[in-house]
Amino acid sequence: MTINANKFYIDGEWIEPEGATPFTIIDAATEEPGGQVLLGNAQHVDLAVKAARRAFSSYSQTSVKERLALLNRIIAGYEARRDELAQAMTDEMATPITFSKAGQVSMALFHFQEMARVLETYDFERYMGSTLIRREPIGVCGLITAWNWPLSLVTAKVAPAIAAGCTVVVKPSEMSPKSALVLTEVLHDAGVPKGVFNLVFGEGPVVGEAIAGHSDIDMVSITGSTRAGIRVAEVAAPSVKRVTQELGGKSPNIILPSADLASTIPAGVMGCYINNGQACQAPTRMLVHRSQRDAAIEHAKKSAEAIRIGDPNDPTTQLGPLVNRAQFEKVQNLIAAGIEEGATLVTGGTGRPDGFNRGFYVRPTIFADVTSNMRVAREEIFGPVLSIHIYDDEDEAVEIANDTEYGLAAFISGDLEEARRVATRIRAGRVYLNGAAVDRTVPFGGFKRSGNGREYGVFGFEEYLEVKAVLGHAAA
């Protein structure tokens, strides 16, 4: 693996950023240096914002037909480089290559495809009596993304912004720059006009805050930790710009007594461990009826211990290492806290898996008899750690599920009518019933400290539009 991100993309050109700071990227599987990225500063953000502002005056006036043609060229260019994009994500964050190809790349592509579908039929104007209601592009958008879904998080914001007629300044995570570079090449080759898309690498407290606080940015959208989302909102407040946030999660997975444990428990374990356990809506809290405790633990233990851990480039690997040392140490500390606080350790625990003496690998871990006051139940772990909670009746299951500061997603399995009833009581932005597949056409976003605003489909598209009322437009 070699990652060299030594240039920024501003105003349609690759530039060598003066005054940028080198940052060494560490290979998560080997703990060896794997390249570097240059970290920018507020001056680089200002250059990018000026370019985006210049471009907005013309790009915002392009026709739907022109923007559809651009999206279709992007889609074609992206599809031609799918394998390269998948390899980039495996290189930079150790996502197993099979999942990079089947999950990460496909999900990111879908955002462009979905925005083309939305744009083709979207009604930007309608009347309310004699008043014309127009939806217009909001302006220059600052887009800040995390490392765990490095392409999907970027395209979930860039695609609707471009479709709406906005211009953007993007700050991907410095932990995952390679896929962002390849995506930028795709956009450039597709003919994105100068200044419409601008890319600046940098750390959150420097580049992220410069974006959030810039007076000439009209909207900022962040995907990241709740702490980072709060800081962005604070910095953005004086300029009264729109702020949308997709933040942390601690999703409950309610296994109703009517559910088939032999299928739902293994699915719940794998859902928790998806993307090496680094997914914000992963079902990390499994709620099991007391009468089914022992059987559920047996199924969960068997599933976790069958997971194939290995080299991210091996097509048979299901679980690779965490992204970096800081994340590895955080997860180790939380596993230790679970043991110290009295949760039943079903499998896994602290340290690396057997046979691994280097790399940020974590043992697939399951705790049982977890209570809501424990750290493993309250904190977003972002690693392959599942907590099993025990409940006695539906009311208690709902109470445990909602006893969290987060509200991004929830999962319910069992009799459909019962599951539907429970779903209405859950405080979360998405609820999946009986293994329902991810749908990228419907809104995605959270309640409570999981954020505000929505992404995906028409709901995500409309976040990038402002509403104007033109009174007296129609003849009386």
- Catalytically active residues are 246, 280
Distance from C-alpha of 6 to C-alpha of 320, rounded to nearest angstrom: 27
Q: Confirm if 266 and 429 have CB atoms less than 8 A apart.
A: no
Q: What is the DSSP annotation of 30-92?
A: T-SEEEEEEE--HHHHHHHHHHHHHHHHHHTT--HHHHHHHHHHHHHHHHHTHHHHHHHHHHH
Closest CA to 344 of 364, 380, 363, 371: 371
Closest CA to 138 of 118, 167, 112: 167
Distance from C-alpha of 461 to C-alpha of 28, rounded to nearest angstrom: 35
- Tokens representing residue 135 in the block: 């939806």
- How many CA atoms lie less than 13 Å away from 436 in the CB half-sphere? 18
Beta strands across the sheet bearing 21-26 = 3-5, 33-39, 21-26
List 121's β-bridge partners, or say none. Answer: none
